[in-house]
Amino acid sequence: AIGIGFGAQNIINNFISGLILLAERPVKVGDLIQIEGGSSGEKLFGNVEHIGARSTRLRSGSNLEIIVPNSSFLQSNVINYTLSSDKLRISVSVGVVYGSPTTTVTQLLRRAVMETGRVSKDPPPIVLFKNFGENSLDFEIHFWIRMRTMMDRLQIESAVRFRIDQLFRDEGIVIAFPQRDVHLDTTRPLEVRMAPPAAPELEGPS
C-alpha cells in the first residue's frame, strides 16, 4: 500500500503539472527549450513535439527523442528560446596579436557579420574590446539572429567565423595563439654543456 501510494503520488504530481503546462503554456509544441538533465546536471536541448498528461516529448538536434516528466518543468529552471520570439542575441569571440590596428579589427568584425546571411541587420552588431589578454587583444561581437533549432545558431556562428578568418587574412590581421617569450641574460657568457649520449636500452627476449 505504501509503495502504491508513493507511485500514485508521482503520477498525480506529473498529471497536475501537465494540466498547469496546458493552462499557463510556458512551453508549447515547436518551442526550443533547455532543461536540466536530472541528477547529472547536464543541459538538455530539444524542440517540444508533444505535451501529454504525464510527460512531454522533446526531439534533440541529433534526432533523439527525450521524454521529460511534466513535473520537471515546474521544479527545474527551463529556458524557452522561442516563447515570445525566435530572435536571439549571440556573440562570437576572437583574439588578435598585440600591435594589431584595433580600429581596423572593429570594422572587419562588423563587416563580417553584416555580410553573413541569416543575421539580422537591425539592431546593428556591437563590437566590444573585451580585454588585454595574456596572448592577445580580445574582441567580442554581438549580433541578432532568428533561431528555431540549436543547429541554426551553430551554423550562423560558424559562417561568421569563416568570414572573419577570410577578412583578417585579406587585411593581414593575425589571429593570436598561445605563446611564450624566452629572455636570455646576455650580461655574461652563456654556458653550454654537452650532455653524454643516453645508454641504449637492452632488448628483452622476443
DSSP code at position 38: G
Question: Is the model more confident about 76 or about 41?
Answer: 76
Tens of pLDDT, residues 158-179 = 999 999 999 999 999 999 987 7
pLDDT of 58 strictly over 60: yes
Count how many residues are written for the chain: 206
Confidence class for position 205, pLDDT limits 50, 70, 90: low
Q: How far is CA 11 from CA 14, 22, 98, in A?
A: 5, 17, 61
Tens of pLDDT, residues 143-156 = 999 999 999 999 99
Q: What does the pLDDT read at residue 41?
A: 66
Report pTM: 0.76
Q: Which of 3-7, 27-31, 153-157 has the lowest mean pLDDT?
A: 3-7
- Looking at every residue in the chain, the average pLDDT score rounds to 86
Q: How far is CA 51 from CA 19, 60, 135, 143, 198, in A?
A: 10, 15, 49, 33, 70
Q: Report the range out of 11-15, 51-55, 65-69, 156-160 with the highest average pLDDT.
A: 156-160
Question: Is the model more confident about 171 or about 23?
Answer: 171
Average of per-residue pLDDT across 44-54: 90
Confidence class for position 188, pLDDT limits 50, 70, 90: confident
Question: For 44-196, where are the alpha helices, taking DSSP H only?
Answer: 70-75, 102-114, 150-171
Q: Report the range out of 4-8, 71-75, 147-151, 191-195 with the highest average pLDDT.
A: 147-151
pLDDT of 187 strictly over 90: no
Q: What does the pLDDT read at residue 36?
A: 81
Q: What percentage of the chain carries pLDDT values higher than 90?
A: 53
Average of per-residue pLDDT across 105-110: 97
Spell 142-179 as b/e; 16+ CB within 10 A means b. ebbbebebbebbeebbebbeebbeebbeeeebeebeee
- H-helix or E-strand containing 57? strand 55-59
CA-wise closest residue to 108 among 153, 154, 161: 161
Is there a contact between 153 and 88 (Cβ–Cβ < 8 Å)?
Answer: yes
